[in-house]
Chain A
Amino acid sequence: MIKFKNSEITPENIYKKRRSFIKSIGLGASSIAMSAIPHVNKSLASERDKLTSYKDITTYNNYYEFGTSKSDPYRNSQIFKTTPWDIDIEGEVEKPIKLSMEEISEMFISEERIYRLRCVEGWSMVIPWMGFSLSKLLSKVNPTSKAKFVEFESVYDPAQMKGQKYPVLNWPYNEGLRIDEAMHPLTTVVTGLYGKKLPNQNGAPLRIFIPWKYGFKSAKAIVKIKFVENMPTSSWMWASPREYGFYSNVNPNVNHPRWSQATERIIGEGVWAPRVKTLMFNGYGDQVASLYSGMDLKKNF
C-alpha cells in the first residue's frame, strides 16, 4: 500500500485555491475535467457547483454495509482492509480475467473528474473524484453477443462490515447498468477524491460513479463485474421494486413515495439555504439523454 506523508497531501484550502488559479489563467477547461459540470446559468452554476468540503464528503455517507446512519460509515470503516484486493471481470465474455488493484492502478491513469452526486433522499454534493472511464476497464475483455447488461457486485465480508450481519439488504450489494450506459464515458471507475486515495467510507479501494443516476446506483468496494444477458435485479430493486427502478436516472418528474425529487438540498449550505431545483439527468442531459431516446422514463424509472 502506498503511504502518503502528511506533507504530500494537499490541504483542502490550497487545493481549492490552486483550482481557482488554474481557472483564472484560463487553463481550467482543457487541463481539468471542468466541463463535466454543466453550466446552465453562470451565476447560479457557481453556487451550485461549489465543491463540497472534504469533511462532508467523507463523514456523511450512505453505505449500509457499515451501518444505516449517515455517520456510521466513517466511524465503522476505518479498520476495513482493502489490501489485497482483486476484481473479477466475468460472465458473458470470451475470456474472464482477474485484476489486482495494483495492476489496475498501473494500467489506468486516474484523472480528476468533478461530478455532482444526487442522492435519492433529496440532497446533493459536488465531489472532485479521481478516476477513469469504466469503458477502458471493460475493454480488457471481449463480451459475447449474449451480453446485454453489466452487473456489479460489492464485497461481502460481515466480519469486517457489521451492517452485513443484519438482513437490511440482500447482501452482497448488487447493481447493474445496460451495456451502453456502462460504456458511456461519464461512467467512472473511482479510485480517489480530492487528489487523495479513496477513503474506505466512500467505497475504497474501487467503486463506480454514474453522475446522471441516483447515488445508490454507484456501487462501492466492487469485487466482481459480470456481463449478463438479462436485466439484473439490484439490491434496492429487490428490497422495494415499486420505489427503485433499474434505471434510476435523476428525474425531477418522477415522484418517489418518500423524497421530493423536484428539488434538492445542497450539502454544506447551512440552515437558511433554500432547496434548489433538481435537473433532469442531474444536469448531464446533453451527454446522456440520447441513451434513452424513445423510452418512457416515467415507466422505466
Chain B
Amino acid sequence: MRRYSKTLVFFLSLWPIYVISYQIISNQLGPEPVDRIINHFGEWTLIFILLTLSMTPLKKITKSVEWIKFRRMLGLFTFFYASIHMLSYVGLDYRFDFEPLINDVLKKKFIFIGFSAWLLLIPLAVTSSEKMVILLKKNWKKIHRLIYIIGIFGVLHYIWLSKTIFFKPLIFLIILLILLLFRIKITRSASKI
C-alpha cells in the first residue's frame, strides 16, 4: 500500500482538474465563467500551499516521516495551479492585452502581491529536484523557506481582492497562521537542544 501512496496522492491532487473539466463539459460554470475558472484555480493554489505547509507539522505530530515524501509533489502542484490561475487571468480574461495587465500589476496591490508570489514560486519549482538539493546543500533550505512568504502573499492576495474578509479569506488566514506558528515552535524547541 505504502508503495502506491505517492501515485494515489498524485491522482488525488488532480481533483481540481476533474472538477473544472466536469463543469466545463456540463456547462455548469455559471453566469461568469471566466471569473469562475480564475477563482477555482486561485483557491486551489492556496489549498495546495496550505497542504504543502502541513507536511512538516504532520510529521512532528504523527512522528512518521511518511509525510515528507509528498511535500515536493504538493509544492509542484502549487506551482502548477498558480500558473494556470495566472494564465487564465492573463489569457482568458485579458486576452494577453499587456497594457491593462501591466497597469493592473502596478496599480492594484492584490495583483502585485499575487504576481510576486507566483514569481517567488519559480525558484522553488526549479530547485525542487533531488539533484538540486545535493547541489545547493545548506542553501536549498534557505531558498525553500520562501514558501512562508509565498503563503503570506497568497493569503493577502485573497484578502485584498475580497470585498470583505468573511468568511473564506479569514479561514485561509487562520489556517496559515496556525501552520506558521508551528514553525516558530519547532525552531524554538530545536534551538534549545
Which A residues have a C-beta under 8 Å from some C-beta of B? Answer: 56, 59-60, 64, 68, 70-71, 121, 123, 166, 168-169, 239, 255, 257-258, 260, 262-263, 265, 267-268, 270-271, 274-275
Contact = CB atoms under 8 A, between A and B. Distances in A.
Interface stretch (B40-48, B70-78, B107-115, B126-134): B107-115
B100 A258 contact: no
B160 A255 contact: no
B35 A271 contact: no
Given A68-B164, A168-B164, A275-B93, A260 B104 contact: yes
A271 B34 contact: yes
23 contacts: A60-B31, A60-B32, A68-B164, A68-B166, A68-B167, A70-B30, A123-B32, A166-B166, A166-B167, A168-B164, A239-B164, A257-B108, A257-B110, A257-B160, A258-B110, A260-B100, A265-B34, A268-B31, A270-B33, A271-B24, A271-B34, A271-B92, A274-B95
B161 interface: yes
Interface string B11-27: 00000000000001000
Contacts of A60: 30-32
Interface residues of B, number: 25
Given A258-B110, A260-B100, A274-B95, A267 B32 contact: yes
Nearest to B36: A271
A168 B166 contact: yes
Interface string B112-129: 000000000000000000
A168 B94 CA distance: 31
Contacts of A64: 164
Interface of B: 24, 29-35, 37, 92-95, 100, 104, 107-110, 160-161, 163-164, 166-167
Given A271-B24, A271-B37, 14 more contacts: A60-B30, A60-B32, A64-B164, A68-B164, A168-B164, A239-B164, A257-B160, A258-B161, A262-B100, A263-B100, A270-B33, A271-B92, A275-B93, A275-B94
Nearest to B167: A68
A263 B100 CA distance: 10
Contacts of B100: 260, 262-263
A184 to B, nearest CB: 27
A265 B108 contact: no
Contacts of A274: 95
B6 to A, nearest CB: 34
B62 to A, nearest CB: 35
Contacts of A258: 108, 110, 160-161
A275 B35 CA distance: 12
Nearest to B95: A274
A122 B148 CA distance: 32
Which 10 residue pairs across A and B have the least CB separation, nearest first? A56-B31, A60-B31, A271-B33, A267-B31, A168-B166, A168-B164, A258-B161, A268-B31, A166-B166, A257-B108
Contacts of B163: 68, 121
A257 B109 contact: yes
B98 to A, nearest CB: 14
A59 B95 CA distance: 27
Contacts of B110: 257-258
